[in-house]
Amino acid sequence: MEIKEYLNNLSNLSIFLAYNANVDTIKYLNDKDVQELIDLFDVNEIIKKIEEYPRIIKSPLDFVARLIHSMKTGKPAEVPLYDDEEINKWFNRFKYDEERMGGQVGIISNLLSILGLKKVIAYTPILSKKQAEMFVNKDNLLYPSVVDGNLILKKPIESYREDDPLKINRIFEYKKGVKFRLGDEEITTPQANRFIVASRPENLRIEIRDELREKLPKIGDMVDCAILSGYQAIKEEYKDGKTGDYYLKKAKEDIKLLKKNNKNLKVHLEFASIPNRAIRKKIADNLLPNVDCVGMDETELANVLNVIGYDKLSNEILKKSWVEDVVEGSKILLEEYDLEIVQVHTMYYIMYLCREDNPLTNEELKKTLEFATILASTKAALGNIGDVDDLKVGLEVPYNEYRDLLASIVAELSKKPENKDYRMLLVPSRLVKNPKSTVGLGDTISSGAFVGYVSFLKNKLNSA
């Protein structure tokens, strides 16, 4: 595809992002690292804990059990860390290999700034100096503040607050083929992936400060689209008596305020791993009906289906990841929440599911998916995208071996009578055999596809 022409299209686009940025400290695990962790505990205790499947990490044993489960299945996972000094001290003993920008807003805003969007307004409720320094220092990446009642947009490094805390996530990355023993069982990781231990500090609230909330209609009028994420950090209850329901109500109001003065504003919700079933269902039921698009991987799709009553289909997707089931699940979300588009990314493909009357042509939709795969393969190969010239690397990465099979499956599904009211567009991934990093690949592919989608919609609107 012609990358230069595509980037030129994006240069007229402005976007707002909220709510989560953090620092990722990354440990690249090898065989020895994993075995040493296992040997800290009785094997039977680990096996028992894996069966219990802890949804919050309160102890080192909880961590090892969930890590082993993730590595054995090769599935990405994110599990919240209990806010406790002792467990934090234990994690701080690791010798981490790398520190970089993390969180969906952090990763996506840096990427879109580098890709040359006209304006990238990135908001996170806490902005320490160290966090601000991790945003790229470009004129198009701005942080919104209110000064003397006026909305001010400045670079993050000019906007940080000295007293704001720092949110740190610990990322444990592993390659395909890592081997270790759990008792009598020898385990080999089936693919490269990552396990995230996500900090949930009590004073982090997924919200927009009240003085800035009043300015959301103005911000919405300044941009073409918005990507909202970070809802996985919402807790059921807080020590000050506030609840998850309180913050979800505010989040729903935020979307309405953003759209108040701009009816053409497109809002994308980027999903994430949410172990808490009650919060997962509330996010789906409260927020999905108010956005236009959703992006998720197949595990996140299955987990949403599970909490809205489609247990059998959810289990099929988790066990087999068949395209047919992913399409069926996407149709359910599209209809249940009246979405414009559902975007699902897996290791082997990225797919759109939309209605037949979507204003974009199949060719335009496919172009956005093609671009997204180039972004993802570039990031996987290099670990980071620092310049648009880096995309040449991703363009050279070949499509994965299932390219023809995937195309034939989608062609057959498109012919079925039950799918006549829908369009499904699928592009195979450009698979990097030994990725430098897997953190943020989903965010990269989702955001790349979404901004492309909005840029084509904007062109159509302007030429009408």
Half-sphere exposure of residue 375: CA atoms within 13 angstroms, side-chain side: 30
> 183-232 pLDDT, tens per residue?
999 999 999 999 999 998 888 899 999 999 999 999 999 999 999 999 99
Let me know whether 11 and 154 are in one domain: yes
Enumerate the active-site residues. Answer: 443
CA dist 11 → 373, 420, 451 (Å) = 19, 35, 10
User: Pick from 146, 176, 199: which residue ends a domain?
Assistant: 199
> 238-287 pLDDT, tens per residue?
999 999 999 999 999 999 999 999 999 999 999 999 999 999 999 999 99
Q: Which secondary structure element, helix H or strand E, spans residue 287, and what is its range?
A: helix 277-287
Band the pLDDT of 437: cuts 50, 70, 90. confident
**289: which residues sit within 8 A by CB, 6+ positions away?**
337, 338
Q: What is the pTM of this model?
A: 0.93
Q: Which secondary structure element, helix H or strand E, spans residue 143, and what is its range?
A: strand 141-147
- Using DSSP's 3-state secondary structure scheme, residue 275 falls into coil
Let me know whether 314 and 179 are in one domain: no
Let me know whether 391 and 436 are in one domain: yes
Distance CA 199, CA 80 (A): 6
Let me know whether 107 and 82 are in one domain: no
Let me know whether 331 and 184 are in one domain: no
Is 364 annotated as contributing to ligand binding? Answer: no
Distance CA 171, CA 173 (A): 6
Question: What's the domain count of the chain?
Answer: 2
- 233 and 204 Cβ atoms separated by less than 8 Å: yes
> 71-119 pLDDT, tens per residue?
999 988 999 999 889 999 999 999 999 999 999 999 999 999 999 999 9
Mean pLDDT score of the chain: 96
> 116-154 pLDDT, tens per residue?
999 999 999 999 999 999 999 999 999 999 999 999 999
Instruction: State the first-to-last Cα distance of the chain, in angstroms, to the nearest integer.
Output: 26
- Using DSSP's 3-state secondary structure scheme, residue 425 falls into strand
Let me know whether 217 and 85 are in one domain: no
For residue 399, is the peptide bond before it cis, meaning its omega torsion is within 30 degrees of 0? no
- State mean pLDDT over 366-378: 98
Is 270 annotated as contributing to ligand binding? Answer: yes
Is 207 annotated as contributing to ligand binding? Answer: no
**DSSP label at residue 397:** S
Let me know whether 14 and 61 are in one domain: no
Let me know whether 382 and 442 are in one domain: yes
Torsion of CA 244, 246, 250, 253, to 10 degrees: 110
Q: Hey, CA dihedral for 62, 237, 161, 218, is it positive or negative?
A: positive
pLDDT value of residue 424: 98
Band the pLDDT of 1: cuts 50, 70, 90. low
Range of the domain at 158: 3-20+103-164+201-463
CB atoms within 10 A of CB 460: 13
pLDDT value of residue 147: 95
Distance CA 54, CA 197 (A): 12
| CATH code of the domain in which 367 resides | 3.40.1190.20
Let me know whether 171 and 304 are in one domain: no
User: Pick from 182, 199, 216: which residue ends a domain?
Assistant: 199
Band the pLDDT of 234: cuts 50, 70, 90. very high
Let me know whether 92 and 220 are in one domain: no
| CATH code of the domain in which 62 resides | 3.30.1110.20
Let me know whether 68 and 155 are in one domain: no
